[in-house]
Amino acid sequence: MNAIEVSGLVKRFGDRTVVDHVSMTVAEGEISGFLGPNGSGKTTTIRVMCGLLTPDEGEGKVLGYDIRRDSRRIRHEVGYMTQRFSFYEDLSIEENLTFVARLYGLSPARSFVRDTLADLGLTERRQQLAGQLSGGWKQRLALAACVMHKPKLLLLDEPTAGVDPKARREFWDEIHARAAGGMTVLVSTHYMDEAERCHRIHYISHGQVLASGAVDDVVTEAALTTFVLEGKDLAQVMDRLIGAPGVDQVAPFGTTLHVVGRDAAALSATVERLATDGITVRPGKTSLEDVFIQLMGTSKEEKV
């Protein structure tokens, strides 16, 4: 079964279409990544799905509830973690969670708060003011508030922005543990390593979903060719490659250049012309980041 199943979603603000006929599904127990540049419509789409916004067009169900008729039911079954830390900084962790428990009508509130503190490893810090927490602990508090009412679906909007790598890894370990227990997760992210930890991904740009599927499938379907160049004077080589036939992307990686393009024959001919005694060329593996950049470029070209 699908936890999310929406079709043709449209959301406009004035004459601006922010969500443009979005259709997607997320299976129960799946961790689904939502990728796209800033302003691509990710946040608005998530808010439509969790019942905070009503779509102008389209239909769908979230956890079996109609997104138009049952928005209140959806909001009570979903945990939504926003981009910004939205708790009272002059209240303690425990006080913030008690406030959230009462908002959800959880009774006895003290019991739910106690169990959630223990579940997220916050018990020893329960008296600490939220405003004094580091980014990683603020993230943990936000997640605690999202899961305290035991939702079936988590919607996470760039939850690890500004968090150090260790805290990010711990957060993802927590998400995978909850998915293993049956919880469904839709998470928007800009980090490619995080996207690769998702079961499936959806790429959105200018309000439209351009690609969906397992990471390996999305990379394969992009049909990009990648070469790695090593040698001397790579800065000059890079200048020669930019705009050359078959070259869509050139990026330095340490002491190498990664060259990516859609036209394999033209790209191969271009890089082989640069292969001299000082430059070596070898096939490279196309990454999800290469696909992400390519889709960004393609969507800009189509928009012009």
User: Is there a single domain that holds both residue 51 and residue 137?
Assistant: yes
pTM for the model: 0.88
Residue 77 belongs to some domain of the structure: yes
User: Is there a single domain that holds both residue 246 and residue 201?
Assistant: no
Residue 210: how many CB atoms within 10 A of its CB?
Answer: 18
Residue 51 belongs to some domain of the structure: yes
User: Is there a single domain that holds both residue 210 and residue 229?
Assistant: no
User: Is there a single domain that holds both residue 256 and residue 197?
Assistant: no
User: Is there a single domain that holds both residue 113 and residue 260?
Assistant: no
Report whether pLDDT(299) > 70: no
Once rounded to an integer, what is the mean pLDDT over residues 82-86? 78
Residue 214 belongs to some domain of the structure: yes
Q: Write the CATH number for 269.
A: 3.30.70
Residue 291 belongs to some domain of the structure: no
Once rounded to an integer, what is the mean pLDDT over residues 108-133? 94
* Gap between the terminal Cα atoms of the chain: 39
Residue 102 is predicted with a pLDDT of 94
| Nearest by Cα to 241 from 215, 259, 265, 217 | 259
Residue 300 phi, psi (nearest 5): -65, -40
Residue 93 belongs to some domain of the structure: yes
Q: How confident is the model over 186-239, as pLDDT tens digits?
A: 999 888 888 999 999 999 999 999 999 999 999 999 999 999 999 888 888 999
Q: Provide the residue count of the chain.
A: 304
Residue percentage of the chain with pLDDT more than 70: 97
Residue 304 belongs to some domain of the structure: no
Spatial strand order of the sheet with 208-213 comes to 78-81, 153-157, 184-188, 31-35, 200-205, 208-213
Residue 41 is predicted with a pLDDT of 92
User: Is there a single domain that holds both residue 49 and residue 97?
Assistant: yes
Which of the four pLDDT bands, split at 50, 70 and 90, describes residue 83?
A: confident
Residue percentage of the chain with pLDDT more than 90: 75
Which of the four pLDDT bands, split at 50, 70 and 90, describes residue 1?
A: confident
User: Is there a single domain that holds both residue 189 and residue 248?
Assistant: no
User: Is there a single domain that holds both residue 54 and residue 180?
Assistant: yes
Residue 86 is predicted with a pLDDT of 79
Residue 38 is predicted with a pLDDT of 84
User: Is there a single domain that holds both residue 214 and residue 231?
Assistant: no
Note down the domain range covering 232: 225-285
Q: Cα–Cα distances in Å, from 151 out to 76, 139, 181, 243, 274?
A: 8, 18, 12, 50, 56
Report whether pLDDT(304) > 60: no
Residue 16 belongs to some domain of the structure: yes
Q: How confident is the model over 282-293, as pLDDT tens digits?
A: 999 999 999 999
User: Is there a single domain that holds both residue 148 and residue 29?
Assistant: yes
User: Is there a single domain that holds both residue 114 and residue 243?
Assistant: no
Amino acid (1-letter code) at residue 256: T
Residue 295 belongs to some domain of the structure: no
Report whether pLDDT(150) > 50: yes
User: Is there a single domain that holds both residue 236 and residue 204?
Assistant: no
Q: Write the CATH number for 127.
A: 3.40.50.300
Number of domains in the chain: 2
